[in-house]
Amino acid sequence: MSNQFDVVVIGSGPAGYVCAIRCAQLGLNTAVIEQNVAESSQPLLGGTCLNVGCIPSKALLDSSHRYAEAAGHLADHGIGVGGITLDIAGMMARKEKIVAQLTGGVSGLLKANAVSVITGSATLNAGRNVEVTSPEGEVSTYTADHIVLAAGSEPAAIPPAPLDGDRIVDSTGALCFEEVPGRLGVIGAGVIGLELGSVWARLGSEVVMLEAMDQFLPNMDEQIAAESGKIFAKQGLDIRLGARVTDTEISGDGVSVTYTHKDATHQETFDRVIVAVGRTPRTDKLFSADSGVTVDERGFVFVNDYCATEAPGVWAIGDIVRGPMLAHKGSEEGVMVAERIHGKAAQLNYEVIPSIIYTHPEVAAVGKTEQELKSEGVDYKVGTFPFAAIGRALASGETDGMVKILSDADSDQLLGAHVVGPSAADLVQQIVIAIEMAASTEDLQLMVFGHPTMSEAVHEAALAVDGRAIHMVNRPKR
């Protein structure tokens, strides 16, 4: 293998491997470097998302939802089920099989596109020289016209709850429990905490979520966040806001957690505790001081709108740069950077990146929230429609939640959409397309939506913006 490439990508997660493949498609001699290795000593491709994040968590979310349906909800459909058993080992084996299939797929795609895969820990030095230390300790140097940093992120830690890998774990450890905890504490009620808490609550855990912030899902639309909180509480998630953890102590088979709430100190005991307080960029030791790359106080790499760093020929994408830590955001940044390296004027519309919480029901959003529009002084219109009035939702027994659409009061331009309910992730994607195509609310109103479908809630919410919803009584607009 040559040590000189057109492009070297450091990191093989959704941002890195997508960038590498697109670079190769454009005719660029490309290598991708991955530091993690499997038990077979082969590079562990796919990053956090495929190995210990998006994919395994969604596999467990799906399995746990099916178990909960069989154990407690099929009777509503006239289906009697007896003798339900829970095989955690089998559930975990299914998860691992899915992960192996997808990571193997990434390996096949890189090979098919003639991307060289280098295993080892990489550091970018001056002059776009990349020093790679193999798992065996051998050091090699690679150079390229362009370097793309895509090292990803890792779970954030907090001093009051040090991980022990057994009783107190991060999100990775929470995907590998061998039994259902009788009582589970989750520190953090954000996206990761809600998804993992939902998995184990469905399987029988009593779940208590301790969230330091006073507001639930502060980045979501306030109305949708409030509705989501009600649904999760009904499902049995005990979410305590303004609860700041100050200490944890492992004793015997349990964990004692001390936290403050409303100027009082409280203590709870759990069988296991998950620390889910966010993620931090993995930029430590990624580049040397003379590389020309700089970071902010939180460790995120400084980049411009096109993901170029301050060092010529060096780019950074995905979780290590500004913006939401979302696999799809990183992937599209990877494509944009590959295109720009090849000389194309590619760009990414950061205003139209959907965010999703894969609970059941799902919570999804794109664009502006109502509180953002208020703070910006935008004159806007709003329309909401409940799934309880949708025939398909009633037939499926999934009536919780709503669709909310926001548009400009003067131009009628779509500004945002927020959904909590069945198929929210797929429904909000319809609005992503509409906003990207500069559609108006009237455009949605004039479209024909299939019946009976969940997507009719999108149509009705668009109609409700102008007080024209058909399947509910319209409230007078103020």
What's the rounded Cα separation, in Å, for the pair 311 and 146? 10
Buried b (16+ CB within 10 A) or exposed e, 251-273: eeebbebebeeeeeeeebebbbb
Q: Which of 77, 261, 342, 451 is catalytic?
A: 451
Residues 29, 123 contacting (CB under 8 angstroms):
no
Element (H, E) at 315: strand 314-316
Q: Using CA of residue 330, residue 335, residue 339, residue 341, what is the dihedral sign? A: positive
Say which residues have a Cβ less than 8 Å from residue 127's Cβ, sequence separation at least 6.
Answer: 143
Identity of the residue numbered 450: G
Phi, psi of 57 (to 5 degrees): -65, -40
The three-class DSSP label of residue 434 is helix
Q: Is 418 a catalytic residue?
A: no
Helices 424-436, 456-465: inter-axial angle, 10-degree rounding = 50
Backbone φ and ψ of 78, nearest 5°: 80, 25
DSSP 111: H
The Cα 203–Cα 25 span in angstroms is 44
Rounded CA separation 475/25 (Å): 53
Q: Which two tokens stand for residue 258?
A: 């001390």
Position 173: which residue type?
G
Backbone angles phi, psi at 459, to 5 degrees: -60, -45
**Nearest residue to 311 (alpha-carbon basis) of 128, 144, 141, 150:** 128
Identity (one letter) of the amino acid at 190? Answer: G
Q: Is 80 helix (H, G, I), strand (E, B) or coil?
A: coil
Show which residues are catalytic: 451
